[in-house]
Structure 1
Amino acid sequence: MPVATGQVRPDGFELDLESRAVTPDVLSEPEVDGGETSFSRYVLGRAAGDDRLVGLPVFVMRGFRHRCVLVRRDSDLTTLEELKGARIGLTGWPDSGNTWTRALLRAAGVDVKGVEWTVGPLVAGETGKDRVGPVPFPDNVALTGDGLAEGLADGRHDAIMTPFMPEEFFTPDSRFRHLLPDHRAAELDYYRQTGFVPGIHLVTLKRESVERHPWLPGAVLELFERSKRHWQARRRLLADTTPWLLDDLTATARTFGQDWMPYGIDRNAAMVAAFCEELHAQGISNRRIEAEEVFTP
């Protein structure tokens, strides 16, 4: 946002930053030099030998995934382990976030091959998203156009995985709840075990733009680093966007240090390696891609 509003400006180049409702397909738009990109789609491209995009270790979207598993309010399910053999709906198969969420199930001893998966929109009629990806679905995965939220409510699914909550989730009469009664505690424990908050989207540049301007990746990374620092400082100064934001900012700093979403290759090495391992272990990538292949120093 500081870059978009002009509070933080590029050094040595001009930037036309456009906000989109849907994550862009950078390669399909000849007029753009780069953009926000799914971490999963980028890594899968590199695994397949496609190097037309140069990924920057600038993760502009991160998030824990324990909160993303929903069940009906009257469900008896309260743990990830109880999802063995369950019927689970999710909003996209190769998505970065859903890959991280399935990793939680695998860590809990759930065989993802034994789950009955249904891929579809959270609400019927949602379009504009590739939910399938470059690799055919496994035999235990089906595609639907029906809304997952209604499927959960009427019993077709035992649980759903979604990064975005249904509108009614924020009402006192919501039919849904988080699977984990204390997802924040589970996420804190995850961080203490792994040392990272999972990366979802990153910034990429077209290789042709980088070849014309070899200094560009470093300049863009430096710009986003300055923007992030400015954003963090402003949030601490104007800590009233939610009633208890100051308390949350304080707890965040004491838990994660001064930067809970670090940029750079070295500080993200463990997270990148874990993600590459999951893509292969879950059958999304046909080959095991090493973390060192993801970013060029």
Structure 2
Amino acid sequence: MSSPAPSPASSSASSPVIRLGLRDWDHVVPLASGLVDVAGFTVRVDSRDTTPDVLAEPGLDGGETSFSRYVQARAAGDDRLVGLPAFVMRGFRQRCVLVRVDSPLRTLAQLAGARVGLTGWPDSGNTWTRALLRAEGVDLTGVTWRVGPLTAGESGKDRLGSRPLPANVSAMAEGETLEGELAAGRLDAILSPFMPAELFTRDSRFRHLLDDHRAAERAYWAATGFVPGIHLVTLKREVVEAHPALPAALLAGLERSKRRWVERRRLLADTTPWLLHELTESAVLFGDDWMPYGAESNAEMTRAFCEELYAQGVWPEPIDPAVVFPDPALATVAVAALSSPLSAV
């Protein structure tokens, strides 16, 4: 999924080359492998183990970016990144609250006044998870929050952000981990977008707080109509200025990649024992697309996220959702580019 690094937005004989840094999400693989193209451009995808800092890498034209950090930048008037309403990472957060197997805690409301660890204070996923606690009446200022890595050896991540932390939020000491503190009983619960390895074993020390997080997530969908967005694709401003057609073309290419992935997974479903059931159930519940692209399809989710950043004190003032995706060309995915049926992409 990677190739030698040219300078950003360099041109081949036929079309400009656009380099993106993305983690290897399944639905991006058709684009990354060349099975899906982007009209007028040659897209090269660098596969990353962690989310890249797009602005800090001169060899990138764009890539995967935290929704929280992107929205905060736009709210501050920083438009060095142009966000595409294409959320390559999105997912329900009810599953992201873990406790010890012997914990008496079974509901989000029971976390009131608890000691809770989390992987990053301003992070998109943790912001959505804290929103669930707020919806259950939990006063976030009454929780003792500790911020640190899930497991030993994790480094290179900004976990605290650039703004002053609330008085009840502190960083964990060097060498401490969320896993270790939870297991030792010094934390009552942890919030993590990724699961500790031992959760996939029969003798795990940890379990999900909610006994049936799937039911809670279905109820969330029924109430909100969206699955929370966590990371999106961004492009550098100078690249967009050099290639004004790129954002809409890339958005359409990402949509085609996603559609091809869904179509192929429905055909080649034997990659996990129960994938076919998951695909069928998801289609019945969500319709043909549970992760729609385009600003209009994500307007309610974007509005809710902006409100949470302010309500939780991550950002000091209300955020106008209109600053997040201001380009009218990104309101919807270009229909002409998607006129062929699913089976043809």
Matching of residue 97 in structure 1 with residue 125 in structure 2: yes
Aligned counterpart, 2:316: 286
Aligned counterpart, 1:245: 275
Q: If the length of structure 1 is used for normalisation, what is the TM-score?
A: 0.99
Identical aligned residues as a percent: 67
Aligned counterpart, 1:86: 114
Counterparts of 1:168 and 1:244 in 2: how far apart (Å)?
21
Measured after TM superposition, the shift of residue 288 of structure 1 is 1.1
Contact 1:280 1:287 in 2 (8 A): yes
Aligned counterpart, 2:301: 271
Matching of residue 107 in structure 1 with residue 147 in structure 2: no
Contact 1:22 1:128 in 2 (8 A): no
Matching of residue 2 in structure 1 with residue 21 in structure 2: no
Aligned counterpart, 1:188: 218
Contact 1:99 1:279 in 2 (8 A): yes
- What do residues 54-109 of structure 1 show as CA deviations (whole Å, max 9, x unaligned)? 11100000010000000000000000000000000000000000000000000000
Aligned counterpart, 1:71: 99
Contact 1:123 1:149 in 2 (8 A): yes
Q: Give the alignment partner of residue 46 of structure 2, picking from 11, 18, 22.
A: 18
Aligned counterpart, 2:66: 38
Q: Give the alignment partner of residue 51 of structure 1, picking from 74, 79, 92.
A: 79
Q: Give the alignment partner of residue 148 of structure 2, picking from 120, 132, 142.
A: 120
* Aligned-CA RMSD value: 0.8
Task: State the secondary structure of the residue aligned to 2:83.
Answer: strand
The amino acid of 1:164's aligned partner reads F
Measured after TM superposition, the shift of residue 31 of structure 1 is 2.2
Q: If the length of structure 2 is used for normalisation, what is the TM-score?
A: 0.85
Q: In the comparison of the two structures, how many residue pairs are matched? A: 297
For structure 1, the 5+ residue unaligned runs are none
For structure 2, the 5+ residue unaligned runs are 1-28, 329-345
Aligned counterpart, 1:143: 171
Counterparts of 2:266 and 2:280 in 1: how far apart (Å)?
9
Name the stretch that deviates more: 145-154 or 78-87.
Answer: 145-154
Q: Give the alignment partner of residue 233 of structure 2, picking from 203, 226, 230.
A: 203
Counterparts of 2:284 and 2:136 in 1: how far apart (Å)?
28
Contact 1:116 1:141 in 2 (8 A): yes
Counterparts of 2:178 and 2:270 in 1: how far apart (Å)?
34
Counterparts of 2:141 and 2:153 in 1: how far apart (Å)?
28
Aligned counterpart, 1:213: 243
Task: State the secondary structure of the residue aligned to 1:152.
Answer: helix
Name the stretch that deviates more: 81-90 or 207-216.
Answer: 207-216
Counterparts of 1:7 and 1:14 in 2: how far apart (Å)?
12
Contact 2:90 2:291 in 1 (8 A): yes
Counterparts of 1:30 and 1:115 in 2: how far apart (Å)?
40
Measured after TM superposition, the shift of residue 10 of structure 1 is 2.1
Contact 2:32 2:43 in 1 (8 A): no
Which one has more relative contact order, counting CA pairs under 8 Å at least 6 apart? 1
Counterparts of 1:32 and 1:205 in 2: how far apart (Å)?
9
Matching of residue 161 in structure 1 with residue 191 in structure 2: yes
Counterparts of 2:141 and 2:225 in 1: how far apart (Å)?
28
Counterparts of 1:203 and 1:242 in 2: how far apart (Å)?
28
Counterparts of 1:125 and 1:148 in 2: how far apart (Å)?
12
Name the stretch that deviates more: 137-146 or 74-83.
Answer: 137-146
